[in-house]
Structure 1
Amino acid sequence: MDSDTVYLEDISAGATIHCGEVTVSADEIVEFAQQFDPLPIHTDPEAASESRYEGLIASGYHTLSLSVRLLVEEVRSDRAVIAGIGIDNVRWHAPVRPGDTLAVETTIVETRPSESDPTTGIVHEEISVLNQSGTEVLSLENRELVERRE
């Protein structure tokens, strides 16, 4: 790893990191859903307009995938991440619609050395995704295994 690598010891509990924004288009919503979540509310604008949502909405898994992309680009690409070890408490709070701009932030809840491997540690973070109106559309907790400084 190079000198810009972020190890467990460099990550502070309580820190909040803003991970950027992404705007979601109708075409992206349909394309993702056709491959991974082909419900009419995600793939068929006409059928979606007759649903309780009164229009096309993104799959929750699409929203989750978009948030992971922003997290990787802003945070994880510099971290000495070994592997994700779990996500918990995934909640979709509000629908994501075409044209919505999503902002992702992560707050470090805790860091600790691994009990089984002294060369690694665990980062526990809370991730929140908000739309352009400030409405939380997704929240989750993530834990990942990270290298420790030698």
Structure 2
Amino acid sequence: MRFFEDVDVGDEEALGSHTFMAPEIIAFARAWDPQPFHLDAAAAARTHFGGLVASGWHTAAIWSRLHAAAQARLHGQMRARGERVPRVGPSPGFRDLQWLKPVHAGDTLSFASKVTAKKPSASRPEWGLVFSHETGTNQYGRLVFAFTNCVFVERQEA
């Protein structure tokens, strides 16, 4: 994330891709979401999913990891150019989380972020709020994951 003033509505960023493999899906499910369709391919085949699928929370965790890595890359580039790096966060929350289609073992999701709005903070003049539409699209070009994110971003005047 850049400084609040340098962020424009409509800015888009590709965050990266991830392939969800069966062992990883099962390991995440064992630790965090132990439902049969996340844990056992045979059991999952008998559900409406027709096969092993990743937990929605697994999908969200991968988005979070890729989002943080993209931010770290940008901030590293800024530091390398000798630029000041803005403080970012915390997030006051998100809205409209959607798991639109199942993520099957072997699916590759590409994650992206698009700035949809921004406004100065009314209570903290050194910060602004940046709103973005976060998405995950599978290898067939189908949107499978989406939500509206919000994060505090430092203002340059601060």
TM-score normalised to structure 2 length: 0.88
Superimposed CA distance per residue, residues 21-56 of structure 1 (whole angstroms, 9 cap, x where no aligned partner): 111110110000111110000011111111111110
Amino acid at match of 1:31: A
Q: 2:123 aligns with which of 111, 116, 127?
A: 116
Of 26, 37, 43 in structure 1, the residue corresponding to residue 39 of structure 2 is 43
State the TM-score, normalized to the length of structure 1.
0.92
Answering whether residue 63 of structure 2 is matched by residue 56 of structure 1, we say: no
Instruction: Say whether 1:72 aligns with 2:39.
Output: no
Q: Offset of 1:98 from its aligned partner?
A: 1.0
Number of aligned pairs? 146
Tell me, what secondary structure is at the counterpart of 2:104? coil
Cα distance in 2 for partners of 1:76, 1:59 equals 26
Identity %: 34
Distance of aligned partners of 1:107 and 1:76 in 2 relative to their CA distance in 1, 3 Å threshold = farther
Which protein is richer in strand relative to its size? 1
Cα RMSD over matched residues? Answer: 1.4
Distance in 2, matches of 1:95 and 1:22, equals 15
Please identify runs of 4+ aligned residues in structure 1 that moved more than 4 A. Answer: none
1:57-116 Cα shifts (integer Å, max 9, x gaps): 000010111111111111366362120111100011100011111101111011111000
| 2:28 corresponds to 1:26 | no
Unmatched 5+ stretches in structure 1 = none
